[in-house]
Structure 1
């Protein structure tokens, strides 16, 4: 009987000890904290449930959804040039910035951004129009040359990869070569239907060209924004049927030439067409595509559900949204979390990306003559100044908070997976919450459970930023935390299931370390 009492007491202790919040990162509306690790001196314990808070977050790890494969942006020619100029002007700042943005090291003061989209050929953020084969009528692609790409793009991309060896590279063209199109130019028009197989081979050669540079693509898309034709920068329209034909030919070429593991992604355009174009594309060539990608410029994030409902086994990616120079910092943070870095993930996306990674303070350099990003200009994730200094923008802080919740806990470990979460209480409307589990390499190590919480309770009775006292429910236990107005990322560790008990020892996670408590 005495042994049984000791065992019972230990069972309760195991549940408590394995569920403590030690790790909290925070960005607040007033910028008093900017992606700041709080390093609490004592843990927030999960204990026997009591009265719920003004908001009550209920985490259900029995409900699991898609893995989240990362956050990031596009390394356009202009972004690469901007970063390369920083490297030349101030090498220390360049490497400091790359590490701050991209290092995936657990516990580091870094965002661990790991998903980069790279244009194949020129975009609206290039020094000039170019493709990899600009010789008119070269259907055999004898003049194809991946090194038409500015050398600084490959150099910077390799530097980023040296910081983050789990980097995912997603390549995508803004246009086929002009001679392949009915317009005769990269700027507007559409691919000639007679050149579908030639263009598929062109895209295969692009994959091979990147590989020759030591850069294996995680994914390739057929066309950026296939419903957009603009005569001032590289664009190209494609019907779903024509994109499907290209995809079918390219998928076969990829499978036969060592790229069977590279994903083929379709659409890459706005939310508002989610129920039409990408659905028609899957009807035309669904077996060739792993999924589709969305942009933010028209429609709303819940439009992603229109596609997911029809094709629940196809992957969804969110791949582009741009900030605008001069917009309100805190309003942007709220929008980005609500619609992209929590929102798009809640609506089944595997990624959340912004547009340019780096530009100057005016949103330059751009393609000469383009009307893209007009008015005040597009703001990048980071602004680089001519004197060799830099500043990260609201786009960075929003995605950094989300990224911290899903990067692998262990070297070679899994990415975070979205799990069930609901919010109750009288102020449930004030919180937007994403919940994730990150499994471990060793089955004896506890999983990491993470929350990304946006508190937008800033305008009751006029401007009045008000913290929300919140309870967090997990496996029959409860923790309490008061979320300031801003975005907070926190996590705790727990056994794979709550029923597993070790009668001789228990381990408690303190940050990135484990401490054994003997019984």
Structure 2
């Protein structure tokens, strides 16, 4: 080969593989897409690799017309069914909304479409919001800081930030589900402990005074009704975010016995108001923060028939313990639902390094929850800024968002692992889908889950952490197709019967 020809070929290869050279910390301007044409084929495929050579790349493959003899075949089995799926998404905190509203309206619309639209984006379908402040708010506050439940009112963070953003998202995806959780009740409802019952005027820790159980239940009802007045329907609530965490910038300790008693007020209040809002208990870690008297927290509440009748199920975080706890709780209470409601990335786990985080978060967050009966997966902040804020002192000051936006222009966005793991689920698995059986090919580092959507289409999400690309064949009862899954990759498929 001549030197000139070799140089020309090398140059062409470099140009054609330009996307392969993206670094892990590269940012994309809001509104910049990965491709302009929609691929056509029997099966829609989305692919992301840790090195961003495939950046949620959409492609298509056709069914194979030859007989299948591949030893790397995954067979789905729709006759084996597990849980129904509610959705996948992220927390829309005050901080996330602040950052979103710093963007230009055009850039924000483009980002939200790419995130929440079923037709033009990832189809995120579930969000979590705070009832009052969280550690990612613009200040500490509740919705009734003046004593007396008659003083309840939405505050600036709801009216000026959260509600406007939710309305924009609902315009894109009207079927969005919303979960609400409080970080603290009004301080005038707090006491130091349930023995002394002394006032506890602090944002952090304390206990809910039993004398205010009825008022606090009314607080939830008023919040749900207030959002409904803006056309925002709340699908579910938890009584307390991280009830075993006395720290954080705003918090409350609520052991299982306290939550059980409060549910006996909250459940009837929601029911009598005709709201149809689901109630999930616990909302904390797999290991119950290593408190032996709090183990199996939700199950202990279920054992009380009066409380249990109002409870849909339990919510979990993964800051301690292992996702196998979900399977354990399902076996102890199979009639109750499970959802996963919070996880974080940050400086402590190299959270912006996609090549490191993509596989780990897909395995331990996405598959760890879904393959153990969780009906939903919700990660923490949808968007933080490049200074990891705004955040509150005493809360998480080292967290990254699912995406991070540059404070210098509020346009350049770094998309992190949590953004992709949710997108790979939400893009092909729609609310109302059922997780179904799948088996056959197995290898260390290959993990997958299959679903049948309510419209009859099939979906499969797979990760390849084997160190080499894999030609995987997927077979249903009628058709089969093959796709080469890159190493360190997540791939999502959706196809019709």
TM-score (structure 1 length as normaliser): 0.80
Q: Do the aligned partners of 1:357 and 1:381 also contact (CA within 8 Å) in 2? A: yes
> Within 5 Å, which residues of 2 pair with 1:103-142?
103-105=117-119, 108=120, 110-136=121-147, 138=148, 141-142=149-150
Whether the 8 Å contact between 2:238 and 2:283 is mirrored in structure 1 is yes
The 1:390/1:416 distance shift into structure 2, 3 A limit, reads: farther
User: Partner of 2:448: helix, strand, or coil?
Assistant: strand
Partner of residue 314, structure 1: 336
Separation of aligned partners in 2, 1:116 and 1:476: 36
Q: What's the CA shift string for 1:360-406, capped at 9, x where partnerless?
A: 01211112x32x224xx101012122313132222111211111121
The answer to whether the 8 Å contact 1:177/1:185 transfers is no
For 1:175, the equivalent position in structure 2 comes to: 184
Report SS of the residue matched to 1:342. helix
Task: Show the counterpart of 1:66.
Answer: 83
Inter-partner Cα distance in structure 1 for 2:223 and 2:101:
23
Q: 230, 238, 256: which one pairs with 1:240?
A: 256
C-alpha deviation, 1:286, in angstroms:
1.4
The residue that corresponds to 1:449 in the other structure is 458
Change (3 A) 1:185 1:31: same
Does 343-352 or 242-251 show the bigger shift? Answer: 242-251
Contact 2:257 2:301 in 1 (8 A): yes
SS state of the match for residue 303, structure 2? helix
2:99–2:410 Cα contact (<8 Å) kept = no
Q: Secondary structure at the match of 2:444?
A: helix
Helix, strand or coil at the partner of 1:129: coil
Residue in 2 that maps onto 1:13: none
Distance 1:454 1:158 in 2: 34
Does residue 356 in structure 1 map to residue 402 in structure 2?
A: no
Distance 1:176 1:478, change over 3 A: same
Matched-pair contact (CA < 8 Å) for 2:317–2:343: yes
Q: Which residue of structure 1 lines up, in the alignment, with residue 303 of structure 2? A: 283
Equivalent residue number for residue 420 of structure 1: 437
Pairing 1:45–2:64 present: yes
Q: Contact 2:138–2:157 at 8 Å: present in 1 too?
A: no
Instruction: Give the drift of 1:186.
Output: 2.2
| Conserved 8 A contact 1:168-1:217 | yes
DSSP-derived class of the 2:357 partner: helix
**Is the 8 Å Cα contact of residues 314 and 339 (structure 2) preserved in structure 1?**
yes
The question of whether the paired residues in 2 share the 8 Å contact of 1:21 and 1:45 is answered with no
Match of 2:109 among 95, 100, 105: 95
Superposed, 1:320-469 pairs within 5 Å as 320-325=342-347, 326-327=350-351, 328-367=353-392, 369-370=393-394, 372-374=395-397, 377-386=398-407, 387-391=409-413, 392-407=415-430, 415-425=432-442, 428-440=443-455, 447-458=456-467, 466-469=468-471
Does the Cα contact within 8 Å between 1:186 and 1:233 map onto a contact in 2?
A: yes
- What CA deviation, in whole Å up to 9, does each residue of 1:13-39 have, x standing for no partner? xxxxxxx84311110232111111124
SS of equivalent residue, structure 2 residue 287? helix
What do residues 315-363 of structure 1 show as CA deviations (whole Å, max 9, x unaligned)? 1000000111443312211122112222211101111111011110121
The Cα RMSD (Å) is 1.8
Q: Which residue of 2 aligns with 1:251?
A: 267
The DSSP-based 3-state class of the residue aligned with 1:204 is helix
Tell me the distance in 2 between the aligned counterparts of 1:148 and 1:473.
53
The one-character-per-residue Cα deviations of 1:169-193 (angstroms, maximum 9, x if unpaired) are: 1111001101111122222111112
What stretches of structure 1 of length at least 5 have no aligned partner? 1-19, 408-413, 441-446, 459-465, 495-519
Moved more, 276-285 or 27-36: 276-285
Q: Could you say if the C-alpha distance between residues 63 and 296 of structure 1 is closer, same or farther in structure 2, counting changes exceeding 3 Å?
A: same
Q: What is the aligned length? A: 435
- Alignment partner of 2:130: what SS? strand
Deviation of 1:492 after TM superposition, in Å, equals 2.2
Provide the TM-score with structure 2 as the length reference.
0.84
Could you tell me how far 1:423 is from its partner in structure 2?
A: 4.1
Change (3 A) 1:145 1:432: same
> Take 2:177 and 2:454, find their aligned partners in 1: how far apart are those partners?
20
* 313-322 or 387-396: bigger deviation: 387-396
8 A Cα contact 2:448 2:463, kept in partner: yes
1:500 corresponds in structure 2 to: none
Contact in 1 for aligned 2:131/2:181 (Cα 8 Å): yes
- What SS is found at the alignment partner of 1:429? coil
Name which of 213, 216, 240 aligns with 1:199.
216
Indicate whether 1:302 and 2:317 are aligned: no
1:472 aligned to which of 471, 474, 485: 474
* Secondary structure at 2:151 match in 1: coil
